[in-house]
Amino acid sequence: MKTDFVICIPARYQSTRLPGKPLIQIKGKPLIQWAIESANKLGALEVVVATDDKRIFDFVESLGQKVVMTQNNHQSGTDRIAECAQIMNWPDETLVLNYQGDEPLVPKENINAVLQLFEQHDDISIGTLYQEIKTIEDVFNPNLVKIVTETNGKALFFSRAPIPWSQHLFNHTGTSELPEHVSYKHHIGLYVYRVSFLKDFSLLPQTELERVESLEQLRALSTGHKIATAKALLPTPHGIDTPEDIVTFEKTIQ
């Protein structure tokens, strides 16, 4: 059964590691355009870009793509999407896909897996995605967010640190292998939520865990909201956070 949903792509100009990231040229097109073109292939009822920057707004509008101007003091992309939902007057039951502008190559099969979480669980506020980590370097890479889950797939915690921590291996310097019989999960920053949750989330103050890890989903976990996870059915390229990621992305789309 097809699940109806809308897409919001949050896009801010300021980025700690890559200032002006949405407008960085990659293979002749700004990154935000790659995201828009990818999002428009996913079968959503509507695709909207939400930004706080006139340069991004003007460029997206020049493409003929729907775009809204939001406030410039949002703490996270989810807060920006909550304002977008209000501007667009989406009904409370609407499922909104937060399509990250710096992860523009998420396969449609993975999107569908996250949408189906809302059919499988009636007590969740957020659905999201992960894929397995295969190397020790990725486990210790703070740009790759890790997630640990319950046996039913619901999230227990997200961190930039190596979790779960292997007391046996990781206390010894120079280790080059992952512990056996432990699944390390890389969180893919793609979320689905209902508009009703977004309204509640935008009223919550940032929590200590969210601030220390710089991970907005920890605000939801810290305040009792449940997050269900789906394993990616197909590999999802790492998001673009550094100049090195741009080189990797260019190789991916060759």
Q: What is the pLDDT of residues 222-244, one digit of tens each?
A: 999 999 999 999 988 777 888 88
Q: Is the pLDDT of residue 109 over 60?
A: yes
Tokens of 184: 């390390």
Considering the entire predicted model, what is its pTM? 0.91
Q: Flag whether pLDDT at 2 surpasses 90.
A: no
Q: What are the chain's domains?
A: 6-122+187-252 (3.90.550.10)
Distance of alpha carbon 67 from alpha carbon 59, whole angstroms: 10
- For residues 111 and 175, the model is more confident at 111
**Which pLDDT does position 231 carry in this prediction?**
96
Residue 130 contacts residue 185 (beta carbons within 8 Å) = yes
**What is the reported pLDDT for 239?**
78
Give the residue-averaged pLDDT of 163-175: 80
Q: Taking each helix axis as running N to C, give the angle between helix 54-62 and helix 31-39, from 0 to 180 degrees, rounded to the nearest 10.
A: 50
pLDDT at 174: 66
Give the ranges where 69-193 is alpha helix by DSSP (H): 77-88, 108-115, 117-120, 136-139
Q: Smallest Cα–Cα separation from 191: which of 52, 40, 76, 34?
A: 76
Helix, strand, or coil (residue 90): coil
Q: DSSP of 13-32, one letter per residue?
A: S--SSSTTGGG-EETTEEHH
Query: Exposure pattern of 191-221 as b/e (b: 16+ CB <10 Å)?
Result: bbbbbebbeebbeeeebebbeebebbbbbbb
Q: Please report the pLDDT score of residue 11 as a whole number.
A: 92
Which pLDDT belongs to residue 18? 81
Per-residue model confidence (pLDDT) at position 14 = 79
Residues 91/71, Cβ–Cβ less than 8 Å: no
- Determine the Cα–Cα distance for residues 54 and 59; give it in Å rounded to an integer: 8
Residue that wins the pLDDT comparison between 9 and 173: 9
Mean pLDDT of the chain: 92
Residue 67 pLDDT: 98
Q: What pLDDT was estimated at residue 170? A: 83
- Rounded to a whole number of angstroms, the CA Rg of the chain reads 18
Percent of the chain with pLDDT over 70: 97
